[in-house]
Amino acid sequence: MKVAAALVALCAVAHAETLRGTVVDKADGKPVGGATITIGSELAASSDDGTFELTLPRGRYTIEVSADWLETTRVPVVLDRDRDVRIEVAQKAAPTGETIEIVDIAPSAVGDIKVDAKLARAVPGGGDAAKVVQSLPAVARPSAGSTEIVVWGAAPRDTRVFVDGVPVPALYHLGGYRSAVGNDLIGDIHLAPAAFGVDRGRAIGGVIDIGMADPAKAPHWRLQADVLDGSAEGKTQLGALTIAGAIRQSWLDRAVALIEDPHTLAPNAPLPRWTDAQLVARAPLASDLVLTAWALASLDSLDRQLISDDPATSTDEHVDNRSARAQITLRRDRVDGHDAVTLWGGRDSLRDDFAFGTLPARQDTQAWVGGLRAVQVTRSEIATLTLGADLDGELARFGKLGSLTIPAREGDLHIFGQPPGDDVTADRWSATTIDAAGYATADAGAGPVQVTAGLRVDSWLLTASRLTPRVGTTPGIGSQQILFTADPRASVKVAITDDLDARVDGGRYHQARAGSDTSAVFGTPDLGVEEAWHAIAGMQWRHAPFAFEAAGYARELDDLVARDLAVTPPLARTLTQLGKGQVLGVQVTARVLALHGLNGWLSYNLSRSRRKDAPDQDWRFFDHDQTHGLIAVAGWEHGPWTLGGRVRLATGEPRTDVIGAFFDSRSGRYEPIRGAHNGVRLPTFFAADLRGERRLPAGVAIYLEVQNLTNRANAEEIIYSADFSHRAYLTSLPLLAIAGVRIER
């Protein structure tokens, strides 16, 4: 019977065709949202990007597009296969009064923010949607060329990036110029800075979710080029299956070489090469069953040389990063909820060859990753119940050659430009990390009170290939641990008025140690899991098109992996799990949504993030602590024009000062005498950026972006002379202009 029912469903789908359309203004080609689409007895409405979709039997139809502010337009169409149509409509004559469309602002968890890709591309960031993450309220200002994301005082590794629920190793390409998860096929970007739900694990910081767009909403083709790179996108229809693909290739290094010596810019800005590609597919198998799939690939390379008069202090670096992910999801919608299952897999490859004078350093990582996610959501009149399972695994092989202190870890007493130690050694090892979890959450309300309670239970399998370094022919004995963690998480929201809510969120979180830390030479093989407690309390006021939010947050970190502070650590115990951390902060954010084409936010964050690597140590500032952070972002669309602006002001990051130096006759170099750990700060950062775009007829658009409008020389690092008697600042890039063109149909 089940087979017969499936065949009947497939036959029904086979005799129906999908009509996808885009409604645009005849005058300027701008998408028209909110229009009513009538085809026979079927009704639909165009979305914000002007698109609509209907499934109809084959035949002849007349599409009628109407709205209070539009002249009614009728277009005939023959539906003998899946079709895409473009409908041009005209505005009615201006009315005597003004009609303002108000878009409601949905409530969210305190600190959460979700941005659609259209607004994200209007924000200065090279037109790359995912670059908006660096401009979100809870995110610390990143240093120039950095790919690290610091959310509410959490270390970069503690914040996890997902694409449609699938973890990816990095959000940005080397150098931070572009996102590594694509651009054209991104639908929205969601940041949960802390106290997120039980459906996300293996993170004690925040969570960034990148949602892929429906391929049906992609243009038939699009070409784009600017001084950073060039990209191409297209889509095709194969019956009920819609496929969209995009590819991007950088040429920044070659563009810069035409006007400037790359070796001159090397200290201030890396000039990497990158390539990325995305493929997204969607197929409705039945009226309530949809299959989606995507694949992502990212390739980075960097050749960087810092030439010095002294060959012993010259540096040479060659980096090659490769990453790929693929997933397939089957979702069934029910009247009372939905069921979904996702299977995913991928591979990551990293090779970094570095030489400081004659001292070599090398890292090599090869990892296979994969997992399975399943969720069931059931709604009733009194509550919503979510049940889920989450399997996440990594099998990795590592190779490393170099000093024990390279690369520097968070909290190391590291002076920028200081030569590495001559304690060169090598190791090769493998590590396995498997997390199998089950979770459940219930959401219920009574009157003005809404309560969400959930529990996530994880079982961890952590292995390392060797407990001791290789010595002669001594056989290797591996490490294997099976650990269990239970993480309760809850939220309580009270509706004080229709526009004002008070909310408290909190929970417990765990993440596994990094496999790269399990070397018997460079790390500790039997490291376990790190722990954090999150708490957020705040209020939200919403009255479209405005919203205001005030939040206080706290994060307590324990069992952090840190370097052993002993001069001579025990064998295979270079790292410990004695580290602790504390984060306290307050954030206020004001937002505007769809006010005469204006969207944006103004946010101020006051925080303190501290760490200590052992119980007997004093508290110190976190390496990326920024006491004050102010950011203003705006995007405005009017007719064929789109304008975006951004202003950022942030406290400089902590650094360890040099208070003196001595000459080491053994190495022939001066060695620094350090002051208080993270006892000084870089100067305050300020930058203003502006972006403008003009859409022309025939689907052509030109854009210009100017970053660092004031040409301010922002300090990124403290640099010293060879004998540490003089110091200066390594500054970020000056005023930077990015011009480009986009053509689409």
pLDDT score for 262: 61
Residue scoring higher pLDDT (700 or 53):
700
Strand blocks (E) in 572-726: 575-595, 598-612, 620-621, 628-638, 641-650, 654-655, 658-664, 669-674, 680-681, 685-696, 700-707, 715-720
Q: What is the mean pLDDT of residues 336-344?
A: 95
Sign of the C-alpha dihedral computed for residues 411, 415, 416 and 418 taken in this order: negative
**pLDDT exceeds cutoff 70 at 309:** no
Cβ pair 545, 599 in contact under 8 A: no
pLDDT score for 385: 96
Under the banding of pLDDT at 50, 70 and 90, the label for residue 668 is confident
pLDDT score for 265: 59
Residues with Cβ < 8 Å from 59, sequence gap 6 or more?
78, 79
**pLDDT exceeds cutoff 60 at 10:** no
pLDDT score for 4: 43
Q: What's the whole-model pTM score?
A: 0.84
pLDDT score for 361: 85
Lowest pLDDT segment from 77-86, 371-380, 571-580, 674-683: 77-86
Under the banding of pLDDT at 50, 70 and 90, the label for residue 41 is low
- CA 176, CA 265: separation in Å to the nearest integer? 16
**pLDDT exceeds cutoff 70 at 388:** yes
Residue in 58, 10, 56, 108 with CA at minimum distance from that of residue 540: 108
pLDDT score for 268: 56
- CA 347, CA 297: separation in Å to the nearest integer? 10
pLDDT score for 2: 40
Tokens of 206: 């925040």
Counting other chains too, the contacts that 534-537 makes at CB distance below 8 Å and 24 or more residues apart are 534/194, 534/195, 534/505, 534/506, 534/507, 534/508, 534/509, 535/195, 535/504, 535/505, 535/506, 536/109, 536/110, 536/111, 536/194, 536/195, 536/503, 536/504, 536/505, 536/506, 537/110, 537/503, 537/504, 537/505
**pLDDT exceeds cutoff 90 at 663:** no
pLDDT score for 224: 95
Residue in 702, 626, 594, 713 with CA at minimum distance from that of residue 224: 702
Cβ pair 383, 336 in contact under 8 A: no
Lowest pLDDT segment from 64-68, 96-100, 162-166, 732-736: 96-100
Q: What is the mean pLDDT of the chain?
A: 88
Pairing of strands 628-638, 641-650: antiparallel
Residue in 558, 454, 470 with CA at minimum distance from that of residue 507: 454
pLDDT in tens, 223-258: 999 999 999 999 999 988 999 999 999 998 887 777
DSSP per residue, 107-128:
---TT-EEEEHHHHHHSTTTT-
- CA 37, CA 67: separation in Å to the nearest integer? 9
Under the banding of pLDDT at 50, 70 and 90, the label for residue 267 is low
Pairing of strands 83-89, 16-25: parallel
pLDDT score for 482: 97
Where residue 169 falls (left for φ over 0; alpha for ψ -120 to 50; beta otherwise) is: alpha
Q: Three-class SS of residue 614?
A: coil
Under the banding of pLDDT at 50, 70 and 90, the label for residue 13 is very low
pLDDT in tens, 183-238: 889 999 999 999 999 999 999 999 999 999 989 888 889 999 999 999 999 999 99
Residue 500 — φ and ψ, nearest 5°?
Answer: -120, 125
**pLDDT exceeds cutoff 90 at 698:** no
**pLDDT exceeds cutoff 50 at 95:** no
What are the chain's domains? 2-89 (2.60.40.10), 215-744 (2.40.170.20)
- CA 257, CA 337: separation in Å to the nearest integer? 56
Residues with Cβ < 8 Å from 365, sequence gap 6 or more?
348, 349, 350, 351, 396, 397, 398, 399, 516
Q: Three-class SS of residue 717?
A: strand
Lowest pLDDT segment from 10-19, 370-379, 489-498, 694-703: 10-19
Lowest pLDDT segment from 3-17, 587-601, 654-668: 3-17
Reduce the secondary structure of 524-538 to three states and give it as a string: CCCCCEEEEEEEEEE
- CA 395, CA 367: separation in Å to the nearest integer? 6
- CA 20, CA 1: separation in Å to the nearest integer? 33
**pLDDT exceeds cutoff 80 at 273:** yes
- CA 218, CA 222: separation in Å to the nearest integer? 9
- CA 23, CA 65: separation in Å to the nearest integer? 8
**pLDDT exceeds cutoff 80 at 284:** yes
- CA 35, CA 24: separation in Å to the nearest integer? 10
Tokens of 430: 């493998």
Q: What is the mean pLDDT of residues 23-28?
A: 80
